Amino acid sequence: MATTVDVNGRPVNVNSPPETPLLWVLRDELGLTGTKYGCGVAQCGACTVLVDGNAMRSCQLPVSAIGAAKITTIEGLGGAHPLQEAWVKLDVPQCGYCQSGQIMSAVALLNATPKPDDAAISAAMDGNICRCGAYQRIRAAIKEAAAAPAQAAPAAPAATPATPSV
């Protein structure tokens, strides 16, 4: 049964069964593989996406629960988001597998709290595990992006990748 979901500013048809977690719809059906599978039980944060601007774990979110909410994935940030630029400048990634989720959690943090203090960073980022231990640079990059002038809102992605309608 097809349903329509707003992904990165574009309505896409989805044919996966309604209970399918959004993670697998994004990855297997829509080919948006930037959002990662890490633990499947909302413990690691690798699958984090924005749902109406809030960070959510897509591995535990049935696609049927999304309704009219707007989904933003790492692909929807466009690549030049201040957080992405800070991530590159400070060479935050190591293996890189968790970083899409880290960045999406950080986007939600800065949307809600443009100048977060250490406690706010801890509260927003403790749900995202990095086994390489890039934590120190993640914190530094969030502060770097928060200090960047005239931060662009990520809601309307500059370059939306082609998402096939299935």
Partner 1 sequence: MNKPLKTITAAASRREVLVVGATLAGSSLLVGCSLPEVLSAGSKVEPGAFGPFLKFAKDGTVTVVSKHIEFGQGNHAGLAAIAAEELDADWTTVKVEQAPANAKLYGNRLMGGTQGTGGSSAVSNSWMQLRTAGAAARAMFVSAAAAKWGVPAGEITVLNGVLSHASGKQAGFGELIDEAAKVAPPAEPKLKDPKTFTLIGQDRVRRKDSQAKSNGTAKYTQDVQLPDMLIAMVAHPPKFGATVKSFDATEAKKVPGVTDVFKIPSGVAVVANSTYAAKLGRDALKVEWDDAKAEKRGSAQILAEFKDYASGKKAAPEKVKWGGFDSKGPAAQAAAGANALEVAYDFPYLAHATMEPMNCVAMVGKGPPKLIFGSQTPTLDQMNTARVALALPGSVEIETLFAGGSFGRRSNFQSDYVVECVQIAKKVGKGRPVKLVWTREDDQRAGYFRPLTHHAVRVTTDKDGFPATWRHRIVTQSILKGAPPGAPGGKGVDFTAVEGVMGSPYLKATPVVDAQLLTPDVGVPVLWWRSVGATHTAYVMEHTIDQLAKRAAKDPVEYRRALYTKAGANRHLAVLNLAAEKAGWSTPAPAGWTRGVAVHESFGSVVAQVAEVKVENGVPKVGRVVTAIDCGTAISPNQIAAQMEGGTCYGLSAALFGNVTLTGGVVDQANFDTYRVLRNSEAPTVETYIVPSTNKPSGVGEPGTPVIGPAVANALLAITGQPTLSQPFVKA
Binding site for partner 1 (CB under 8 A): 16-17, 20-21, 24, 27-29, 31-41, 43-44, 46, 73-75, 77, 79, 84, 87-88, 91-100, 103, 121-122, 125-126, 128-139
CB of residue 156 to partner 1, shortest distance in Å: 17
CB of residue 71 to partner 1, shortest distance in Å: 14
Decide if 114 contacts 151 (C-beta within 8 A): yes
Decide if 102 contacts 62 (C-beta within 8 A): no
Q: Which two tokens stand for residue 122?
A: 């801890």
The phi and psi torsions of 120 (rounded to 5 degrees) equal -65, -40
CB < 8 Å & 24+ apart, contacts of 22-26: 22/49, 22/58, 22/59, 22/61, 22/62, 22/63, 22/66, 22/71, 23/47, 23/58, 23/59, 23/61, 25/63, 26/58, 26/71, 26/73
CB of residue 114 to partner 1, shortest distance in Å: 19
> For residues 46 and 56, which CB has a smaller minimum distance to partner 1 in the complex?
46
> For residues 19 and 150, which CB has a smaller minimum distance to partner 1 in the complex?
19
> For residues 40 and 53, which CB has a smaller minimum distance to partner 1 in the complex?
40
> For residues 53 and 96, which CB has a smaller minimum distance to partner 1 in the complex?
96
d(CA 138, CA 25): 28
CB of residue 131 to partner 1, shortest distance in Å: 5
CB of residue 13 to partner 1, shortest distance in Å: 16
> For residues 7 and 68, which CB has a smaller minimum distance to partner 1 in the complex?
7
